[in-house]
Amino acid sequence: MAWINDNYLKLKAGYLFPEIGRRVRAFAEANPKAKIIRLGIGDVTEPLPGAVIEAMHRAVDEMAHRETFRGYGPEQGYDFLREKIAAEDFGKRKCDIAADEIFISDGSKCDTGNILDILACGKANCIAIPDPVYPVYVDTNVMGGNTGAAGDNGSYQGLLYLPATEQNNFTPDLPAEKVDVVYLCSPNNPTGAAMSREALARWVDYAKRNDCLILFDAAYEGYITDERVPHSIFEIPGARDVALEFRSFSKLAGFTGTRCAYTVVPKSVTGKAADGTRVDLHRLWLRRQTTKFNGVSYVVQRGAEAVYSPAGREQCRKLIDFYLQNARTIRWTLHEIGLTAFGGENAPYVWVKTPGGMSSWDFFDKLLTQAHVVGTPGSGFGAQGEGYFRISAFNSRENVEEAMTRLKAKLA
Ligand code: MLT
């Protein structure tokens, strides 16, 4: 008999997005004529940039000849991409990050979950997680046995939740106590808030004083429009001693289905072994990746490299501007209706307060059944998300405009 990982039994219902999918499918089956517009999961809709397509075509052609064919690549990514990233994403911002500190992967969802492999599991670490938050951080900690059971509001015992609310501009305050690991995400999913340089510097300072590891998710970095907002935690002096950073090509270049991301693990970040010795996390992550991962395909890495070409940059900029224009349309419409909305300026998400204190799922059902528009209930991102709703800007202009017309008709 195989004994299961009982921690999975602690997980609340399904993962948020499949659960939304289930409800939407049930509605669609019962109402086959309804034209449903999906602004729920943050999945891109526009084609890949031309420069990426061309680079991938060239790479496919290379695979057709023995001389240029590639089998297994380096698990941590090809040098051509790691070097490009080090120079373009970090060197140009004066961040001290070397190419061999960059690990190419197939997604930030995987990386933010897998990183727990190299940290002590069980209750050894005090782990702080913002609330609301991208559900993967919480659920992977549950799976790894780092939490107790969930309470009625969905929060798990054993995690320290850091409220990100209207009162603190959706930027979590420093905890009064000492924590070992903290997740931060900026620009934020789900609230759309972006952390200022000062706020990020406070966290780096906290981490240094408390020997705390920051897991910094910058998957939406490409959406930053405010020049005062840092694009990388490594823009903050000292961060390379305390932080790892997760980046993705998904929302930057439309790679949600193509799959390419990377994680920065500076060689100077260490953790403590059970016997008290300091061990660098880079060594452990390298070991983990070379054992459990066989790398991202050559073709896809060539596509990702093309994101940094002059044409690729311009095309990605257009793509992002397109989605940000959708976000402005959404935010503007919500204001017109008289709802309070946040985000959408440095992120592709608008975070709206539900009207009349309605619960997040009730609002979800109302929009689905009355307007045939799908969003994401804020409570799915944590207890503090109750009473909020996330609307994603990822869709065609036509669909976003149509969805907003319907919202005006049903909510104004
Ligand atoms: C979201 O909707 O929050 C994201 O698309 C999920 C993800 O990136 O995995």
Ligand 1: centre distance to CA 259 (Å): 13
Ligand 1 atom closest to 392 (CA): 2
Q: Supply the pLDDT for residue 397.
A: 97
What CATH fold (topology level) applies to the domain 10-47+311-411?
Aspartate Aminotransferase, domain 1 (3.90.1150)
* Closest C-alpha to ligand 1, atom 9: 109
* Closest C-alpha to ligand 1, atom 4: 42
Ligand 1: centre distance to CA 129 (Å): 17
Count H helices and E strands in the chain, helices first.
12, 15
Ligand 1: centre distance to CA 109 (Å): 8
Alpha-carbon gap, residue 257 to 279, rounded angstroms: 35
Ligand 1: centre distance to CA 65 (Å): 37
What is the rounded average pLDDT for all residues in the chain? 96
Helical ranges in 145-243 per DSSP H: 197-210
Q: Is 189 in the pocket of ligand 1 (CB under 6 A)?
A: yes
Q: Is 121 in the pocket of ligand 1 (CB under 6 A)?
A: no
Q: Which of 102-106, 148-152, 251-255 has the lowest mean pLDDT?
A: 148-152
Q: Is 112 in the pocket of ligand 1 (CB under 6 A)?
A: no
Exposure of 38 in the CB half-sphere (CA atoms within 13 A): 14
Q: Is 41 in the pocket of ligand 1 (CB under 6 A)?
A: yes
By most ligand atoms within 8 Å of CB, the mutation choice from 20, 41, 247 for ligand 1 is 41
Ligand 1: centre distance to CA 189 (Å): 8
Ligand 1 atom closest to 250 (CA): 8
Ligand 1 atom closest to 109 (CA): 9
pLDDT band of 327, cuts 50, 70, 90: very high
Class of domain 53-309: alpha beta
Q: Is 160 in the pocket of ligand 1 (CB under 6 A)?
A: no
* Closest C-alpha to ligand 1, atom 6: 42
Ligand 1: centre distance to CA 143 (Å): 19
Which tens digit of pLDDT belongs to each residue from 351-389? Answer: 999 999 999 999 999 999 999 999 999 999 999 999 999
Sheet holding 341-343, edge to edge: 341-343, 349-353, 388-392, 376-377
pLDDT band of 152, cuts 50, 70, 90: confident
By most ligand atoms within 8 Å of CB, the mutation choice from 17, 24, 247, 374 for ligand 1 is 17
pLDDT band of 14, cuts 50, 70, 90: low
Supply φ then ψ for residue 59, to 5 degrees: -65, -40
Reference 342, options 164, 172, 193; nearest CA is 193
* Residue type (1 letter), 43: D
Task: Produce one character per residue of 391-404: b if its CB has 16 or more CB atoms within 10 Å, e if not.
Answer: bbbbbeeebbbbbb
Reference 179, options 200, 164, 158, 196; nearest CA is 158
By most ligand atoms within 8 Å of CB, the mutation choice from 136, 189, 256 for ligand 1 is 189
Which tens digit of pLDDT belongs to each residue from 343-352? Answer: 999 999 999 9
Ligand 1: centre distance to CA 233 (Å): 21
Q: Is 28 in the pocket of ligand 1 (CB under 6 A)?
A: no
Which tens digit of pLDDT belongs to each residue from 31-85? Answer: 999 999 999 999 999 999 999 999 999 999 999 999 999 999 999 999 999 999 9
Ligand 1: centre distance to CA 41 (Å): 6
- Give, in order, the Cα–Cα distances in Å from 29 to each of 23, 160, 219, 364, 369: 10, 41, 34, 17, 12
Q: Is 109 in the pocket of ligand 1 (CB under 6 A)?
A: yes
Ligand 1: centre distance to CA 3 (Å): 31
Report the chain's C-alpha Rg in angstroms. Answer: 21
What is the four-CA torsion angle of 88, 92, 94, 99, rounded to 10 degrees? 20
Q: Supply the pLDDT for residue 296.
A: 98
Segments making up each domain of the chain, as ranges: 10-47+311-411, 53-309
- Give, in order, the Cα–Cα distances in Å from 239 to each of 148, 150, 207, 215, 235: 31, 33, 9, 11, 8
Q: Are 396 and 370 in contact (CB under 8 A)?
A: no
* Closest C-alpha to ligand 1, atom 1: 42
Q: Are 234 and 268 in contact (CB under 8 A)?
A: no
By most ligand atoms within 8 Å of CB, the mutation choice from 19, 43, 258, 350 for ligand 1 is 43
Which tens digit of pLDDT belongs to each residue from 266-303? Answer: 999 999 999 999 999 999 999 999 999 999 999 999 99
